[in-house]
Amino acid sequence: MATLDEIKTYAIEHHVPIMQDAGISFICDYIKEHKIKKVLEIGSAIGYSAINFALVSEDVLVTTLERDVNMYEEACKNIHLMHLDERIQILNVDAKEAQISGEYDLLFIDAAKSQYRFFFEKYAPLVSLDGVIITDNLSFHGMVKNPNLTNNRNTRQLVNKIRLYIEFLKNNPDFDTTFYALGDGISVSKRKPKN
């Protein structure tokens, strides 16, 4: 039997980037309060967030996508050890190309940051009318607010992409987005009601 603490310790020891505690509790509370039943997650890593979401309530079903085979295999192991095989479906696919169907109450984007906008646009049609899209890492360790925290060219480019994604969310004609300075920065986007 694995425990959440053991999975978290593994993540820390193996440098697997998992959600921060504040971000996880925020989403778990959201799932509980809004009686979310179906979650689609982009970026499973070793299954830590998916397992947390599924543990909120027995009627929560999670589909989660992971392109890295080693992460995927570790996630499968963890999901199995937590006895959640029936409620968490993990797919070893690249979310840029995957063909996913179904309707979800919550889309959680937590994969390659340079692709956030692409993931949002590709998967938003699968989100129910009163559903929600949550994105993590919008503060990117404080660098989005203060780009001088890094001199690395690639990191700066990534930070710039996150900025553009934030602008895209702010100006999106179909979604209203609220930003929370929690964990590594979270956004919650809800569809605007149609007139």
Residues engaged in binding ligand SAM (CB under 6 A): 17-19, 43-45, 48-49, 65-68, 71, 94-96, 110-112
Minimum CB distance to ligand SAM smaller for 11 or for 169? 11
Minimum CB distance to ligand SAM smaller for 48 or for 175? 48
DSSP label at residue 67 = -
Minimum Å gap between C-beta 192 and ligand SAM is 27
Contact status, residue 62 vs residue 85, Cβ threshold 8 Å: no
Minimum Å gap between C-beta 98 and ligand SAM is 7
Minimum CB distance to ligand SAM smaller for 124 or for 171? 124
Minimum Å gap between C-beta 166 and ligand SAM is 18
Which residues contact residue 154 at a Cβ distance below 8 angstroms, ignoring those fewer than 6 apart? none
Residue number with the shortest CB distance to ligand SAM?
43
Say how many CA atoms lie within 13 Å of 170 toward its Cβ.
8
Minimum Å gap between C-beta 121 and ligand SAM is 14
Minimum CB distance to ligand SAM smaller for 19 or for 82? 19
Question: Within a 10 A sphere around the Cβ of 16, how many other Cβ atoms?
Answer: 18
Task: State which H helix or E strand residue 108 sits in.
Answer: strand 104-109
Question: Within a 10 A sphere around the Cβ of 56, how many other Cβ atoms?
Answer: 17
